[in-house]
Chains A and B, each alone.
Chain A
Amino acid sequence: MEASLLISSKSLYCRPMVYENEEQDKQWRALIVKAQSGDSAAYRELLSALVPVIRRAVVKSLPSPDSADDVVQEVLLSVHKALHTYDSNRPFTPWLMAIVSFRKTDFLRQHYAARGNKQVSLESVDIPDYLNSSDSSMNCHDIENAINELPKKQRKVVELLKIKGFSTKEVSEQTGLSETAVKVTMHRALQKLKEKLA
């Protein structure tokens, strides 16, 4: 029992997600060791094998799939620059993933910093007129009708909490319910509204 706990805590510490394919890691390790000694064929094989892995690792967290190629390129360049820091006695994947994560964060930081330049003035934004649009007003009526169909207690809590914007404490004082009861009532009301509007 103790031994199994020890093993599980050790594997948790070692982040098992990076060891999902030990065979592959061994293969990459052999290739990078050859690359460190100047074998360009092994290096080409390694980099080509890494491209889909890096792309898969970064694509989900990037704002658009098109930017994945830029990050992949950055990571490849970084792998090249950091080639001498790889210790052949250690697994390869954590080393690679640390670089991938670093470059991805770098890219995202630059991307979101550049968003400041993409701001537009409020006048130039085309905001749809929800009040006069027939579709939108229909939706509003649906919501109003759904709220009106709620039991009196739930309707009052929804009105005070969500429409008039009172806090839970204030609603609790106005309705005489406890704060927990207000939250529970609100939760039930939202469930009912969800069912009705679905």
Chain B
Amino acid sequence: MNNDKIDKTIQDLCGELKPVCCVNPLWRALLWILMVVCYTSAVAMTIGLRENIAEAMNREDYIFELILAFSTGISASLMTFWLSIPDCDRYKRFLAVPLTLLAVQIIWMLDRLYFEGMGSIRENWLSHCWINTALHTTLPAIAVLILVRKGATVMPCALASYAVLAVSEFGWIGMRLVCPHDNVGEAYFLNFLPYVIIGIIAGFAAKKLFRW
């Protein structure tokens, strides 16, 4: 046993010690949610809300989809920040909440797909959707990365998954506010596809992104 080496490490660490402020992950989560809600609203207003927004707001299915996505986004955000601290065991009982809501969302989508079909997909989606999607998600993704890296996660892969889910849900809500097309092909496949791709990439990079 090399005690000298460890004593030297302890000495160095004590020399580097500075007063630290303990920040509850819940506050970080609330800060991020507030920021994302403001940002998504601002981007949607800048791009321009869909022309049939008033009509859509009177539809129960549209409101249900928005509420479901919002609930999933909120719960995934809370999980993301709770997982960013080492002592996250106590929050593991909530791990299933965002996943269950996501499952409900997928079942809803499959139900609509079965009854309504895929619907038409716009020809110019490459030039339209992707820019809006990027606008809706880039800043929230950077913000969540910065805020989460202030913590010290012991579950980087789970954290990355929940972070992607949170960013995706808020981004998707933004897209539903600006994109006038409600068919399954547009609302789910095209608007969700970029997030799925980003999610897969983030999953592979999770350990490097959240290394501490």
User: Which A residues form the contact surface with B (CB < 8 A)?
Assistant: 15, 35-38, 40, 43-44, 47-48, 51, 55, 68-69, 72-73, 76-78, 80-88, 90, 94-95, 98-99, 101-102
- Do A84 and B22 touch (CB < 8 A)? yes
For residue B126, CB closer than 8 A to chain A, the reply is no
Cα A101 to Cα B154 with chains together (Å): 9
List 12 additional contacts besides A80-B13, A85-B86, A98-B86; criterion CB under 8 Å: A15-B89, A36-B19, A37-B19, A44-B11, A47-B13, A51-B6, A51-B10, A55-B1, A84-B21, A87-B22, A94-B89, A101-B154
Separation of A94 and B1 alpha carbons in the complex (Å): 26
Check A38–B154 contact: CB distance below 8 A: no
Check B1–A69 contact: CB distance below 8 A: yes
Cross-chain contact of A69 among B2, B10, B14, B21 (Cβ < 8 A): B2
Chain B residues with Cβ under 8 A from A81's Cβ?
152, 212
Is the Cβ of B14 less than 8 Å from the Cβ of A44? yes
In the A-B complex, the 3 residue pairs with the smallest Cβ-Cβ separation, listed nearest first, are: A82-B152, A38-B19, A102-B154
Asked if A76 and B87 sit within 8 Å, CB to CB, the answer is: no
In whole angstroms, how far apart are the Cα atoms of A91 and B89 in the complex? Answer: 12
- B residues contacting A by CB (< 8 A) are 1-2, 5-6, 9-11, 13-24, 84-90, 151-152, 154, 212
- Could you tell me the distance in whole angstroms from the C-beta of B101 to the nearest C-beta in chain A? 24
Give chain B nearest CB distance to A167 CB in angstroms. Answer: 38
Q: A51-B6, A69-B6 are in contact. Are A85 and B14 (CB under 8 A)?
A: no
Asked if A68 meets B152 with Cβ closer than 8 Å, knowing A38-B17, A76-B9, the reply is no
List residues of chain A with CB within 8 A of the CB of B89: 15, 94, 98
Q: Given A81-B212, A82-B212, A84-B20, does the pair A76, B10 have CB atoms closer than 8 Å?
A: yes
Find chain B residues with CB under 8 A from A98 CB.
86-89, 154
Residues of A within 8 A of B9 (CB): 73, 76-77
Q: Determine if A88 and B14 form an interchain contact, defined as CB atoms under 8 angstroms apart.
A: no
A and B contact pairs by CB, cutoff 8 A, 20 listed: A35-B17, A36-B20, A38-B18, A38-B19, A40-B14, A40-B15, A44-B10, A44-B11, A48-B10, A68-B1, A69-B6, A73-B9, A77-B13, A78-B212, A80-B13, A86-B22, A87-B87, A94-B89, A99-B86, A102-B86
B93 to chain A, nearest CB (A): 9
Give B133 Cβ to nearest chain A Cβ, in Å.
33
Which chain A positions have C-beta within 8 A of B151? 85
Q: A36-B22, A85-B85 are in contact. Are A43 and B154 (CB under 8 A)?
A: no
- Measured CB to CB, the nearest residue on chain A to B156 is A102
Q: Is the CB of B86 within 8 A of A72?
A: no
Determine if B87 and A72 form an interchain contact, defined as CB atoms under 8 angstroms apart.
Answer: no
Contact between chains at B17 and A43 (CB < 8 Å): yes
- Report the minimum CB–CB distance from A82 to chain B (whole Å): 4
Closest CB of chain B to A74's CB: distance in Å? Answer: 10
Q: Among the listed B1, B13, B22, which residue makes an inter-chain contact with A88, where contact means beta carbons less than 8 Å apart?
A: B22
CB distance from A104 to the nearest CB of B (A): 11
Do A85 and B152 contact each other (CB < 8 Å), given the known contacts A73-B5, A76-B6, A98-B87?
A: yes
**Residue in A36, A84, A101 whose Cβ sees the most chain B Cβ within 10 Å:** A84
Q: Which residue of A lies closest to B153 (CB)?
A: A102
Residues of B within 8 A of A83 (CB): 20
CB neighbours of B17 from chain A (8 A): 35, 38, 40, 43, 80
Q: Name which residue of chain A comes closest to B20, CB basis.
A: A84
Cα(A192)–Cα(B13), bound, Å = 61
**Once bound together, how far apart are the Cα atoms of A51 and B2, in whole Å?**
12
Which residues does chain B contribute within 8 Å of A68, judged by CB atoms?
Answer: 1
CA distance A101 to B87 in the complex (A): 11
Q: Within the assembled complex, what's the spacing in Å between the Cα atoms of A83 and B16?
A: 12
